[in-house]
Amino acid sequence: MGTAGIVGVGNMGGAMARRLLDRGWQVVVRDVVPEREQALVGCGATRAASPAALADACDTVVVAVVDARQTEDVLFGADGVSASARRGGCVLLCPTLGPSDVERFTERLRARGLDSLDAPMSGGPARARDGSMSLMVAGADAVFERQRPLLEALSSNVVRVGVRPGDGARTKLVNNLLAAVNLAGAAEALALATRLGLDPARTLAVIERSSGQSWIGSDRLPRALAGDLAPRAHTSLLRKDAALAVAMAREVRADVPLGEVAALQFARACEAGCADLDDASLYDWLRGGRG
């Protein structure tokens, strides 16, 4: 077992930290919300005062914040990781980022003598906690092999997508575009059932045993029907990811009309007040409960 630092210990990063602690790793954490840090200190983690202090204590830093702006600040801002990270250390980039951002961060880290892996994650907090989430990893073979013990401690589903930085991001965005399409379609269909006077729970039970079933629909819609919109994955995150995926498609002149519609639906739901709710709230919005 080794020592790993995690910057950003919200839903996903916190679950990853607990997973590593359970498996005997020493874990150093940093978050802008002190209560998140304190909860993990109670589980055996060590708190760092800044990303720089965390990097000084760990050879490997896992970045699990929300977006490119936060990632850049964590890596290169005042008291950022690059200020004190040891040469030869490694950064795992786990947020959903645009491929060009991953390439840019990789080059800047390399210029400071740091390795990195493009390693976005998927599956939600429960699967991060039990190690069944997906990690889509791109980067140099030698770096991947050195980080294999950590990657396999975090996940039993590590997918090696290639050596080119950004391919992890590209894979994640393709996946999340389909997730947005599937969830938008499932929420729309169930909202239609409700408007038709059908029992939505019974309709969902039929869907889950029939050709309309999707993993994300089965995961999200029971919570929506129960009125449980506490955020496991914020609606704003899927809006961001779908928008990144559509922008990526436009760069290669690929038509993604279903993806564009799904991205628009999540954007509208966020504008209607669902941004900080679970993305299951799309059903609530579509059936007229919000907005």
Domain boundary among 165, 183, 210: 165
- Do 182 and 208 fall into the same domain? yes
SS3 string, 223-280, reads HHHCCCCCCCCEHHHHHHHHHHHHHHHHHCCCCCHHHHHHHHHHHHHHHHHHCCCECC
For residue range 199-242, list pLDDT tens digits in order.
999 999 999 999 999 999 999 999 999 999 999 999 999 999 99
- Do 191 and 125 fall into the same domain? no
Residue entry with tokens 């090696």? 160
- The answer for residues whose C-beta is within 8 angstroms of residue 40's C-beta and 6 or more apart is 9, 14, 17, 18, 21, 27, 29, 47
Residue 56 sits in which domain range? 3-165
Give the β-pairing of 115-118 and 121-122. Answer: unpaired
- Do 204 and 97 fall into the same domain? no
In 3-state terms, what secondary structure has residue 84? coil
The number of domains in the chain is 2
Report whether pLDDT(288) > 90: no
Report whether pLDDT(1) > 80: no
Alpha-carbon gap, residue 43 to 241, rounded angstroms: 31
Q: State the pLDDT confidence band at 291, using cuts at 50, 70 and 90.
A: very low
pLDDT of residue 2: 85
Alpha-carbon gap, residue 32 to 49, rounded angstroms: 10
For residue range 188-199, list pLDDT tens digits in order.
999 999 999 999
Report whether pLDDT(87) > 90: no
Global pTM value: 0.92
Residue percentage of the chain with pLDDT more than 70:
99
We report the CATH number of the domain holding residue 265 as: 1.10.1040.10
Domain boundary among 113, 133, 165: 165
pLDDT of residue 5: 98
Report whether pLDDT(13) > 60: yes
Q: Give mean pLDDT, residues 58-84.
A: 95
Report whether pLDDT(21) > 80: yes
Annotated catalytic sites, by residue? Answer: 172
In 3-state terms, what secondary structure has residue 133? coil
* Angle, CA 214 vertex, CA 217 and CA 224 arms, to 5°: 10
Alpha-carbon gap, residue 30 to 276, rounded angstroms: 22
Q: What is the overall mean pLDDT for the chain? A: 96
For residue range 132-150, list pLDDT tens digits in order.
999 999 999 999 999 999 9
- Do 122 and 83 fall into the same domain? yes
Domain boundary among 165, 193, 222: 165
Report whether pLDDT(290) > 90: no
- Do 185 and 105 fall into the same domain? no
Q: Give mean pLDDT, residues 108-118.
A: 96
Residue percentage of the chain with pLDDT more than 90:
95
Alpha-carbon gap, residue 241 to 216, rounded angstroms: 15
The answer to whether position 278 is within a domain reads yes
